[in-house]
Amino acid sequence: MGSTLKKVSQLLVSKKYLKARASKPGVNKVKHVNKGDACMYRITDKRDLSPIDYFVEVEAPHVAKAWKPGQFVVLMTHEKGERIPMSVYKNDNGRIGMFIRKLGKTSYELYYDFKPGDYIYSFVGPLGKALKIKNYGNVVFASDAVCGQAENYATLRAMKEAGNYTISIQSFENAANVYPEEFLAKPVADEYYLTTDDGSVGMKGHYLDVIKKLIEEDRVDIIFAGGKLGSLAKLAELTRPYGIPTYTTVRQIMVDGTGMCGSCRILYDGKVKFACRDGPMFDAHKVDWEDVLRRDKRFVELEKIAKERYLKSRGVI
C-alpha cells in the first residue's frame, strides 16, 4: 500500500513538474537526453560558424578509422529522432567534424538541446563511395552551402597530399555568413577565392563566375563541387561544352542511407541510381537535374510543420 501511494505521489509530482515546465515560455517540453553509458558519440565541441550554420565535433572512432573524403554519416540525435545524413571530415585530433545548417526540426534540435559533453544517439558510417584521390593536375573544389563547405576542406587536403594544384572557391551570401578563418579551406588551397553575393567581403559574385574565368584561362583539369542543388545543375551546364570532368554531390533525400529504401533514387545516364550507395558524388553531366530538383521538394510542407512545432515548443517562435 505504502509503495502504491509513493508511486501515485511520484506521478502527481512529475505531472505537476511537466505542467509547470510546459507553461514556461522558452522551455522545451520534451527534451531527449541520451545517457553516455548507452551511447558512444560524445559531442566534444560545438560552435557557431555564422548566424545560420554551426560546427559540431563528435567522438566516433569507427567513423574516424574508416572515413575517406566524399563519404558521409547518418545520425540520430535521440532514440525517437529522424535519421539525417551529414557530410563529415576527420579532424587532426581524430574526431569527426560537421558543419550544420539550422534548417528544420532536427538541425534546430541539435543546436538548441545539445551541448559539448552530451551524446548523439546514433552515428552510422562512413557511408557512400569515397572519391578517387589521385594526381589529376589542377583540381577545383567549389561550394556555396554548408555541406559543400565541409567537403571543400577535406577533399582539397587529400588532393593536395596527392600532388595536385588545388583551387578552392567558397561562396557565401554575405559577410555575416562567412565562417571564421579556421573553418575555411584556405590552408589546403594553392589558390583561394572567397566570394559573396553582395560583395561585402571577398569577390562579388558566385563560384560559377570564378570557374568561368578559370576555364577561359584553361586552368582547370577537374572540378568537384557541393552545396546548393540549383548551382550544381548550372555548373554541369557551364562545364559540359568544354568536356571538363565535373563531380558534384547529389544530396538527395535519404532515409536508410544504405540502398534499401529507394528514397534517394536519381536518374543517372538514363538509369536509376541511389545517391546513398552509388554516390553521393556523381558525374554531373550524367545527372537528370530537373528530376533531382523536383524530388528534393517532396516533403516541404511536412518539414515546415515539424520545424514550427519544435520551435514553438522551444519558445523560439
Ligand X SMILES: Cc1cc2nc3c(=O)[nH]c(=O)nc-3n(C[C@H](O)[C@H](O)[C@H](O)COP(=O)(O)OP(=O)(O)OC[C@H]3O[C@@H](n4cnc5c(N)ncnc54)[C@H](O)[C@@H]3O)c2cc1C
Binding site for ligand FES (CB under 6 A): 254-257, 259-264, 274, 276
| Rounded-to-integer distance, Cα 224 and Cα 284, Å | 9
11 vs 260, beta carbon nearer ligand FES:
260
**Could you say which of ligand FES, ligand X, none residue 256 binds, taking C-beta under 5 to 8 angstroms by partner kind?**
ligand FES
Q: Within positions 76 to 135, which residues make up the interface with ligand X, using CB under 6 A? A: 84-87, 98-101, 103-107
Q: Name the residue among 305, 303, 269 with its Cα closest to residue 284.
A: 269
Which one of ligand X, ligand FES, none is in contact with 259 (Cβ closer than 5 to 8 A by kind)? ligand FES
- What is the pairing mode between strands 53-58 and 72-76? unpaired
Beta strands in the chain (DSSP E): 41-48, 53-58, 72-76, 84-87, 89-90, 96-101, 119-120, 122-127, 138-143, 165-172, 191-196, 203-204, 222-226, 246-249, 265-268, 271-274, 281-283
Of the pair 212, 234, the CB lying nearest ligand X is at 234
Indicate the residue among 219 and 295 with the shorter CB distance to ligand X: 295
d(CA 112, CA 127): 27
CB of 146 to ligand X, least distance (A): 4
# residues contacting ligand X (CB under 6 A): 25
Nearer to ligand X, 104 or 214 (CB): 104
Contact 232, 275 (CB under 8 A): no
Residues of this chain that interact with ligand X (CB under 6 A) are: 72, 84-87, 98-101, 103-107, 146-147, 150, 251, 253-254, 280, 296, 300, 303, 307
